[in-house]
Each structure stands twice: as structure tokens, then as C-alpha cells.
Amino acid sequence: MEFSLRQLMVAAVAALALTGTAVAADMSDEAIAERIKPVGSVYLEGDAPAGPAVAAGPRSGDAVYGTFCAACHGTGVMGAPKIGDATDWSPRLAKGNDVLADHAINGFNAMPAKGSCMDCSDDEIIAAIDHMIEGL
């Protein structure tokens, strides 16, 4: 049995129509409210957050690394020193911790300022560096 492109497209459209109908079948007020509820909230600076409380205190170096640094420093993208790789980190460490922190916080070469973690404090960035060079 050979299907033509037209038959295949009709079957695909029918399948999508049936799937969409099944999803939207529950038209109760509660189901509609669940489907259209906001995914976030906005508040003005100085106001209390409208959602769950934000974690108090600084994030750990491991948490900052895992969220913001791992994409580049896990694989060495664009020359980023890889986590735990003494060969990659040695020339950077030779310049001193102050230079290393300055480059991470303010950006240097391909590294954007704070590794694009614009809500990270300087201390959190330094904790992430410490996490990456731990055990060298």
C-alpha cells in the first residue's frame, strides 16, 4: 500500500486536530484557569517579591558554577579554563587572585562580565572560581 503526500498530510492534520481537541476538552472554569494562569510575577524594586521567598544569603560556588559557569568551563569553550584542570588554570593563577577575580567580575577576552550572571555578587563569583580551582 502506497501513501501519497496528500494522504499523509491529511492524516497528520487529523491527528493534530484530535490531539488538540482532547487537550482542550475540559472547559470547566478550573481547567481554563489552570491553562491560562501566569507563569511568573513582576514586582517593582523595593516591593516584596510576589512569589515564593528568594533564598537568603549567597549562593555556593558549586551552585553558581552549575548554573552559570559549567557551559563554558566544563568543556573549555572558547579557551575557558576547564574546572579542575591545572594546566588550564596555572597561567591564570600565576597572575594572582586579584587579577583572576577582576577578570571574572569585569570580563576579559571572551568571558563576559560575571560570566553573564548579572545578579551574582562579587563574592559569589569568587566562590565559583574557588570551586573550579579546588584541589589543584
Determine contact, residues 64/125, Cβ cutoff 8 Å: yes
Q: What is the pLDDT of residues 117-135, one digit of tens each?
A: 999 999 999 999 999 999 8
Determine contact, residues 24/34, Cβ cutoff 8 Å: no
- pTM for the whole thing? 0.61
Fold classified for 57-135:
Cytochrome Bc1 Complex; Chain D, domain 2 (1.10.760)
How far is CA 110 from its chain centroid?
18
Q: What is the mean pLDDT of the chain?
A: 85
CA distances from 49 to 44, 53, 67, 98 (A): 9, 7, 22, 35
Does the pLDDT value for residue 112 go beyond 80? yes
Q: What pLDDT is recorded for position 86?
A: 95
Q: What pLDDT is recorded for position 35?
A: 84
Please enumerate in sequence order all residues whose Cβ is within 8 A of that of 41, keeping only pairs 6 or more positions apart, or say none. 49, 50, 51
- Stronger pLDDT, 82 or 17, i.e. the higher one: 82
pLDDT interval class at 2 (50, 70, 90): low
pLDDT above 70 covers a percentage of the chain that reads 85
**Residue for cell digits 491560562?**
36
Q: What pLDDT is recorded for position 132?
A: 95
Listed residue (71, 67, 84, 62) closest to 128, CA to CA = 62
Q: What is the pLDDT of residues 44-88, one digit of tens each?
A: 887 776 555 555 689 999 999 999 999 999 999 999 999 999 999
Q: What pLDDT is recorded for position 40?
A: 73
Does the pLDDT value for residue 3 go beyond 80? no
